[in-house]
A and B are shown apart, each in its own frame.
Chain A
Amino acid sequence: EAGVAQSPRYKIIEKRQSVAFWCNPISGHATLYWYQQILGQGPKLLIQFQNNGVVDDSQLPKDRFSAERLKGVDSTLKIQPAKLEDSAVYLCASSLVLQMHSGNTIYFGEGSWLTVV
């Protein structure tokens, strides 16, 4: 079974530029997540989709970050304009259903490493 696919794997941009990350979840997974992981920290949830609807985007800096999941499959995360503190790994993940009290396993991709200089 194919895992969560992400691209690009690495990206270096200057501050104030824009960047976009793409994610293809595991086939059949209804829920898709974007996490930000800063070096030395645990992943922090940015946004969670159930099919193509947003379930939680409370920690997404909406003045510069945006995400969409058209057709309920692939997703893109965009940062515009980027700041130095956005340097992090952006992890996409998916789960079969919405992870409420059932405790569904979340499957992570390898991540997209962003360096803002």
Chain B
Amino acid sequence: SQKIEQNSEALNIQEGKTATLTCNYTNYSPAYLQWYRQDPGRGPVFLLLIRENEKEKRKERLKVTFDTTLKQSLFHITASQPADSATYLCAPFFQKLVFGTGTRLLVSP
């Protein structure tokens, strides 16, 4: 079965820096991959989708890359702010969305 790996350790960065989160998957490549944000006690909120034939996608301060050779997606937040502190989930689509465990991001002022 597919295995989705995200850093289980929290990522601590300073305000203004770029945060980079990693999502690795095994076996065959997904048709697309989505990234979600989840705040404590809330449901996940969709952020970005990137398809297998796209290398990069941007939305405001967010950037997602997709490398099917490395079987990896990177999620970047530039000029990070304390309000960006949350857990970020990657979800590749393998006949259905399969969510990773998420990486917690903490942005300090």
The residues of A with any CB-CB pair to B shorter than 8 Å are 4, 40-45, 48, 56, 91, 93, 99, 101, 103, 105-111
Contacts and interface: CB of A to CB of B under 8 A. Distances in A.
A111 B42 CA distance: 7
B97 A99 contact: yes
Contacts of B101: 40-42
A103 B100 contact: no
A42 B91 CA distance: 9
26 contacts: A40-B101, A41-B101, A42-B4, A42-B89, A42-B91, A42-B99, A42-B100, A42-B102, A43-B44, A56-B96, A91-B43, A91-B44, A99-B96, A101-B31, A101-B32, A103-B31, A103-B32, A103-B49, A106-B97, A107-B46, A108-B43, A108-B45, A110-B42, A110-B43, A111-B42, A111-B43
Contact of A99 (B93, B100, B102): B93
B63 interface: no
Contacts of A56: 96
Nearest to A93: B43
A45 B49 contact: no
Chain A to chain B: the 9 pairs with minimum beta-carbon distance, closest first: A108-B43, A42-B99, A105-B46, A103-B32, A43-B99, A101-B31, A42-B101, A103-B49, A108-B44
A41 to B, nearest CB: 5
B51 interface: yes
A48 B44 CA distance: 17
Nearest to B100: A42
Nearest to A48: B96
A64 to B, nearest CB: 22
Which of B34, B41, B97 has its CB near the most chain A CB atoms (within 10 A)? B97
A45 to B, nearest CB: 6
A103 B34 contact: yes
A107 B97 CA distance: 13
Interface string B70-100: 0000000000000000000101010011011
Contacts of A44: 99
Contacts of B96: 45, 48, 56, 99
